[in-house]
Amino acid sequence: MPLSVFGESLNRVADLFLKLVNDRGGILLIDEIENAIHHIHQSKLWQMLFELATEFNVQIFATTHSLEMLKAFTQVSSAQDKEIGYYFEFARHVNTNQIIGMKYDLDVLDYGLKRKKGVRGE
């Protein structure tokens, strides 16, 4: 059966995986990674993305506003043998008004998520 007869979720996942596999040694940019992915499948998506990215030497940059996707990312990243994922937040510096990026350790992100301490620029 052609892929086009399946739902948006399967098409999105297939698109991501094909892009990743076809871009060996490159970079994959994913905007709003949570789109079309049901929250119960988000951990599995991250697990598969990490495996493929490692196998094909692809660096992934993904954006999200989804609390569930951040939780899935943290869970899967923390379960890896080595540090494989990082979390960045962008904000404006209060004095200079310049956009700055802040890298958070996964344990800091996990702490914020579990205690509802303002992640996702809140």
Segment 90-102, tens digit of pLDDT: 889 999 999 999 8
State the pLDDT confidence band at 14, using cuts at 50, 70 and 90. very high
120 domain-assigned? no
15 domain-assigned? yes
Give the domain range for residue 72.
Answer: 3-114
Q: What are phi and psi of 90, to 5 degrees?
A: -110, 140
- According to the model, what pLDDT value does residue 118 have? 65
Contact (CB, 8 A) for 104 and 87:
yes
20 domain-assigned? yes
Mean pLDDT of 26-46: 96
Mean pLDDT of 16-41: 95
The model carries a pTM of: 0.86
Q: Which residues of 24-61 are buried (b: 16+ CB within 10 A; e: fewer)?
A: eeeebebeebbeebeeeebbebbbbbbebbeeeebebe
Q: Averaging pLDDT over each range in 6-20, 44-58, 70-84, which range is the top one?
A: 44-58
C-alpha closest to that of 35 among 72, 66, 73: 66
- According to the model, what pLDDT value does residue 89 have? 87
49 domain-assigned? yes
Number of domains within the chain: 1
